[in-house]
């Protein structure tokens, strides 16, 4: 109430000051205008009088002058007219003029002497009178003057009326402005403030649902965003403390970001950690007139991002977004993530020829199909190999430049794009700790032997202190390949290669996702009925399966569709009741094999949907675009099962992301035996994706599995990814790097 009164008083005072200033200005202008009009009117009357006036020299003529002046005075409603002959001879129209003359004699003398007219306002007995004195000079006639008197009191009456009207207007305006202001303050300020109080309270108690609501006004959006960030930090800190307490009480050794950070500080001891990859973790693109930051679809990014967030450091990658150059600062660097920077991203720029030959050519038409052995013939061109070497060399120079002041940095190289990089770095920095992690499978020696530059690739990789694969199976293949292709000593006891005086260790590090005990108990993933999600796409169905992949020939998407088709053929009762949702991100579409794959996937989905066509029903819903993690999570959380049918894969993190979203410990994972994840997730239904009949039966088994069995399997698998999460993976790999003697 006090605040309202103070606001109203302030508004009334402010409006009053403005009104006073405006009124004074208006009155000044109005008074000048009225005085000017009165003077002009009197001057015109005087001119008319003088035109008809002629000199009277005899006393008898003075009565005629009085009569003439009186007629003029009455005609123009003057207060009076006086004709001055000399101080002793003044003719007046009426006796009321004589009191005015007492104030006029000095002005009359001044006017006659100066031979100029004088007009001014005099006050006579409290009455305002305007007098106008006009001197008359004629040949052989003494100086005379005519004085015209007009009542000027009406000017004060008008001015007083202005004061009164402006006071009423000010009073009404003040009330109106006060009322509107109070309403605006209540609705536009107090309400948002109350909202902010609610947000802060929600932040304090960890009410995520309250915090997720949109701010009531655009101008509060930045504040809302900051409160959300603070709340998340508080909530995470609280969860971390609770998790650490649980770990201490249960004597478990679960890895968390905080534990990894402390471990890294002990291992690095101030040394730099650098991650090198082709694909960048954040990409800036133009979205109309704005610039939008997105996370590219990549299992490697899913795995590595939490590590950099936990430990900091530098990530060197190719800049591929069309707005990337507009968002970097000095030395082509930018702090990421955009909302809450945790580490630095340095972008290198590839020319179109480099991208065509290094990335699309040698990396994805050569090494990718070579390593996956998935019925696509690898292509090797000398020009592609030339650019592959050049880009590796460019990245090596960038790493050397960033570690110029560091004797023993930790350098973690990602994937098959940079097989030559370890050797290039080691030549310049022999004391650096260098590891390369190969995210895709390693084929058998006979298959890899078809690469014309297999020796150069192997020697480049063996420049590293440590080479990591997802499984021991891939490690064995690599060691066999080295043993067959190079003059070296392979030790099968400690899985190492000794060549040219240096030793490289080859170890399995099954990669995972950011999943801790806090996430295990997290109830933020709200499960909805599958029919609700499908209804948003105009589909009516009770059951839903989901698959999430880049559209790639190694992912077995066509085999998956054929399994869905066969399942519906064998189980007609599910026709119209079941829809399989395939979330597919187009990838590398400049390559014919990939563009053909996209076309094949679309046509196959259309064919199967036509086969089981019915109103509001679809056997397969193909969502062909890049989806964010937030968009995918509802499908993970609500589907009856997730299907991973890789024909050849390193690990496949989709399987683990699906498990992470199942906080109610329900649902079923159908997993290809050719994915590395199948060696860890024994609670999944393991299939051979080439066996369409068995895959179709697996779908039926998943849909009809009892709740008890689902819970048992899901708990088992979720516990695996809690104990072997990405922080555990990073700690294992980096501790192994640290223990290797150069």
Q: What is the Cα–Cα distance from 533 to 273, expressed in whole angstroms? A: 43
More confident residue, 500 or 241: 500
User: What pLDDT, on a 0 to 100 scale, did the predictor assign at position 567?
Assistant: 98
User: What pLDDT, on a 0 to 100 scale, did the predictor assign at position 240?
Assistant: 58
User: What pLDDT, on a 0 to 100 scale, did the predictor assign at position 546?
Assistant: 98
* Residue with token string 């297999």: 454
CA 275 from chain center: how many Å? 26
User: What pLDDT, on a 0 to 100 scale, did the predictor assign at position 58?
Assistant: 47
Point out which residues pair with 132 in neighbouring strands: 119, 148
The tokens of 34 are what?
Answer: 């009225």
Q: Which of 277, 296, 374 is nearest to 593 (CA)?
A: 374
Mean pLDDT, residues 641-667 taken together? 95
Q: Which of 545, 535, 561 is nearest to 616 (CA)?
A: 535
Cα distances from 686 to residues 558, 562, 646, 668, 722, in angstroms, run: 18, 17, 12, 11, 21
The tokens of 632 are what?
Answer: 């995918």
User: What pLDDT, on a 0 to 100 scale, did the predictor assign at position 218?
Assistant: 61
Q: What is the pLDDT of residues 479-495, one digit of tens each?
A: 999 999 999 999 999 99
CA 531 from chain center: how many Å? 31
Fold of 18-157: Beta-Lactamase (3.30.450)
Three-state secondary structure call for residue 621: strand
Mean pLDDT, residues 484-507 taken together? 94
Helix (H) or strand (E) holding 686: strand 685-687
User: What pLDDT, on a 0 to 100 scale, did the predictor assign at position 59?
Assistant: 46
pLDDT band at 272 (very low <50, low <70, confident <90, very high): confident
Mean pLDDT, residues 37-58 taken together? 70
Q: Which of 80, 22, 89, 81 is nearest to 61 (CA)?
A: 89
User: What pLDDT, on a 0 to 100 scale, did the predictor assign at position 388?
Assistant: 97
More confident residue, 689 or 52: 689
More confident residue, 158 or 554: 554
Lowest mean pLDDT among 80-94, 144-158, 237-251: 237-251
Burial class (CB in 10 A: 0-12, 13-18, 19+), 650: buried
- Residue 709: is its pLDDT beyond 90? yes
Helix axes 557-570, 692-704, angle to 10 degrees: 70
* Residue with token string 């020319």: 351
Per-position DSSP letters for 570-597, written without gaps between them: H-GGGTTTEEEEEEEEE--TTSHHHHHH
pLDDT band at 579 (very low <50, low <70, confident <90, very high): very high
Helices H / strands E in the chain, number of each = 27, 23
User: What pLDDT, on a 0 to 100 scale, did the predictor assign at position 71?
Assistant: 74
User: What pLDDT, on a 0 to 100 scale, did the predictor assign at position 181?
Assistant: 72
Give the N- to C-terminal CA distance of the chain in Å, as an integer.
Answer: 76
- Residue 363: is its pLDDT beyond 60? yes
- Residue 21: is its pLDDT beyond 70? yes
Burial class (CB in 10 A: 0-12, 13-18, 19+), 189: exposed
Q: What is the Cα–Cα distance from 258 to 332, expressed in whole angstroms? A: 29
Helix (H) or strand (E) holding 388: helix 382-402
- Residue 319: is its pLDDT beyond 80? yes
Q: What is the CATH number that goes with domain 261-354+395-508?
A: 3.40.50.2000
When the pLDDT of each residue in the chain is averaged and rounded to a whole number, the result is 85
Give 3-state DSSP helix, strand, coil % of the chain, rounded to 5: 55, 20, 30
- The answer to whether the CB of 336 falls within 8 A of the CB of 313 is no
User: What pLDDT, on a 0 to 100 scale, did the predictor assign at position 587?
Assistant: 87
Q: Which of 577, 657, 650, 654 is nearest to 612 (CA)?
A: 577
Mean pLDDT, residues 86-115 taken together? 76
More confident residue, 39 or 198: 39
The tokens of 296 are what?
Answer: 């590219």
HEC letters along 21-52? HHHHHHHHHHHHHHHHHHHHHHHHHHHHHHHH
User: What pLDDT, on a 0 to 100 scale, did the predictor assign at position 55?
Assistant: 47
Query: 124: which residues sit within 8 A by CB, 6+ positions away?
Result: 99, 100, 103
Q: What is the pLDDT of residues 532-574, one digit of tens each?
A: 999 999 999 999 999 999 999 999 999 999 999 999 999 999 9
- Residue 251: is its pLDDT beyond 60? no
More confident residue, 257 or 691: 691
Cβ atoms within 10 A of the Cβ of 41, count? 16
- Residue 361: is its pLDDT beyond 60? yes
The tokens of 631 are what?
Answer: 């968009």
- Residue 384: is its pLDDT beyond 90? yes
User: What pLDDT, on a 0 to 100 scale, did the predictor assign at position 345?
Assistant: 95
Top-ranked range on mean pLDDT: pick from 45-54, 108-117, 227-236, 350-359 = 350-359
pLDDT band at 57 (very low <50, low <70, confident <90, very high): very low
User: What pLDDT, on a 0 to 100 scale, did the predictor assign at position 718?
Assistant: 95
Q: Which of 281, 316, 312, 313 is nearest to 299 (CA)?
A: 281
Region label for 504, one of left (φ > 0), alpha (ψ between -120 and 50) or beta (otherwise): beta
- Residue 655: is its pLDDT beyond 90? yes
pLDDT band at 211 (very low <50, low <70, confident <90, very high): low
Domain ranges of the chain: 18-157, 261-354+395-508, 525-724
Burial 578-607 (b: 16+ CB within 10 A, else e): bbbbbbbbbbbeebebbeebbeebeebbee
Q: What is the pLDDT of residues 409-419, one digit of tens each?
A: 999 999 999 99
Helix (H) or strand (E) holding 249: helix 221-250
Helix (H) or strand (E) holding 82: strand 80-86
Same topology between domain 261-354+395-508 and domain 525-724: yes
Q: In the chain, what percentage of residues exceed pLDDT 90?
A: 50
Mean pLDDT, residues 129-158 taken together? 76
Lowest mean pLDDT among 8-22, 575-589, 686-700: 8-22
Q: Which CATH superfamily is domain 525-724 in?
A: Glycogen Phosphorylase B; (3.40.50.2000)
Q: Which of 267, 271, 242, 265 is nearest to 254 (CA)?
A: 242
Please calculate the CA angle 38-44-46 and round it to the nearest 5 degrees: 100
């Amino acid at each position: 109430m006090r605040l309202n009164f103070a606001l109203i008083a302030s508004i009334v005072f402010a409006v009053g000051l403005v009104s006073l200033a405006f009124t004074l200005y208006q009155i000044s202008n109005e008074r000048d205008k009225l005085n000017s009009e009165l003077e002009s009117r009197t001057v015109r009357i005087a001119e008319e009088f003088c035109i008809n006036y002629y000199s009277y020299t005899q006393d008898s003529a003075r009565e005629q002058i009085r009569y003439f002046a009186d007629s003029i005075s009455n005609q123009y409603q003057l207060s009076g007219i006086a004709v001055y002959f000399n101080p002793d001879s003044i003719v007046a129209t009426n006796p009321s003029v004589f009191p005015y003359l007492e104030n006029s004699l000095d002005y009359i003398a001044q006017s006659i002497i100066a031979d100029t007219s004088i007009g001014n306002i005099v006050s006579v007995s409290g009455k305002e009178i305007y007098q106008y004195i006009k001197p008359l000079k004629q040949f052989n006639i003494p100086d005379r003057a005519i004085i015209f008197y007009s009542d000027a009191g009406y000017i004060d009456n008008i001015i007083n009326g202005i004061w009164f009207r402006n006071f009423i207007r000010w009073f009404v305006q003040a009330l109106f402005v006060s009322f509107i202001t109070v309403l605006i303050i209540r609705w536009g300020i107090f309400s948002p403030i109350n909202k902010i109080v609610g947000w802060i309270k929600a932040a304090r108690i960890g009410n995520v649902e309250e915090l997720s609501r949109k701010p009531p006004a655009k101008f509060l959006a930045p504040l809302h965003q900051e409160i959300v960030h603070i709340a998340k930090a508080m909530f995470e800190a609280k969860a971390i403390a609770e998790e650490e307490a649980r770990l201490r009480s249960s004597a478990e050794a679960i890895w968390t970001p905080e534990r990894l950070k402390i471990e890294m500080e002990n291992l690095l001891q101030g040394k730099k950690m650098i991650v090198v990859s082709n694909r960048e973790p954040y990409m800036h693109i133009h979205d109309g007139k704005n610039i939008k930051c997105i996370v590219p679809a990549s299992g490697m990014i899913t795995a590595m991002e939490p590590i950099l967030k936990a430990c900091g450091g530098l990530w060197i990658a190719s800049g591929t977004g069309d707005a990337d150059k507009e968002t970097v600062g000095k030395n082509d660097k930018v702090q990421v993530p955009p909302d809450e920077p945790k580490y630095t991203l340095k972008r290198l720029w590839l020319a179109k020829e480099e991208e065509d030959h290094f990335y699309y050519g040698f990396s994805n038409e050569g090494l990718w199909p070579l390593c996956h052995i998935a019925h696509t013939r690898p292509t090797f061109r000398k020009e592609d190999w030339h650019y592959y070497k050049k880009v590796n060399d460019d990245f090596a120079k960038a790493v050397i430049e960033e570690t110029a002041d560091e004797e023993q940095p930790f350098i973690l190289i990602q994937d098959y794009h940079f097989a030559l990089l370890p050797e290039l770095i080691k030549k310049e920095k022999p004391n650096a700790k260098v590891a390369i992690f190969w995210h895709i499978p390693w084929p058998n020696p006979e298959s890899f032997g078809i690469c014309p530059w297999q020796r150069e690739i192997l020697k480049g990789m063996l420049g590293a202190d440590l080479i990591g694969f997802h499984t021991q199976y891939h490690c064995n293949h690599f060691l066999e390949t080295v043993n067959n292709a190079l003059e070296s000593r392979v030790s099968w006891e400690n899985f190492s290669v000794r060549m040219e005086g240096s030793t490289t260790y080859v170890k399995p590090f099954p990669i995972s996702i950011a999943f801790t005990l806090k996430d295990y108990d997290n109830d933020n993933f709200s499960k909805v009925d599958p029919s609700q999600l499908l209804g948003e796409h105009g589909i009516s169905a009770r059951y839903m399966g989901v698959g999430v992949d880049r559209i790639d020939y190694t992912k077995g998407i066509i085999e998956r569709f054929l399994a869905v088709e066969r399942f519906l053929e064998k189980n007609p009762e599910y026709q119209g009741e079941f829809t399989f949702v395939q979330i597919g991100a187009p990838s590398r579409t400049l390559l014919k094999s990939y563009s053909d794959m996209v076309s094949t996937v679309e046509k196959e989905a259309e064919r199967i949907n036509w086969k089981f066509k019915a109103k509001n029903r679809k056997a397969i819903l193909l969502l062909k675009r890049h989806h964010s993690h937030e968009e995918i999570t509802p499908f993970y959380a609500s589907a009856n099962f997730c299907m991973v049918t890789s024909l050849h894969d390193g690990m496949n993190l989709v399987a683990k992301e699906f498990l992470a979203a199942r906080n109610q410990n329900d649902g079923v994972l159908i997993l290809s035996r050719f994915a590395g994840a199948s060696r860890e997730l024994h609670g999944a239904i393991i299939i051979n994706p080439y066996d369409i009949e068995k895959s179709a039966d697996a779908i039926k088994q998943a849909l009809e599995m009892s709740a008890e069995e689902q819970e048992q399997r899901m708990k088992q698998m979720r516990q695996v990814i809690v104990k072997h999460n990405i922080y555990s993976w990073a700690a294992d790999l980096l501790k192994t790097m640290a223990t290797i003697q150069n």
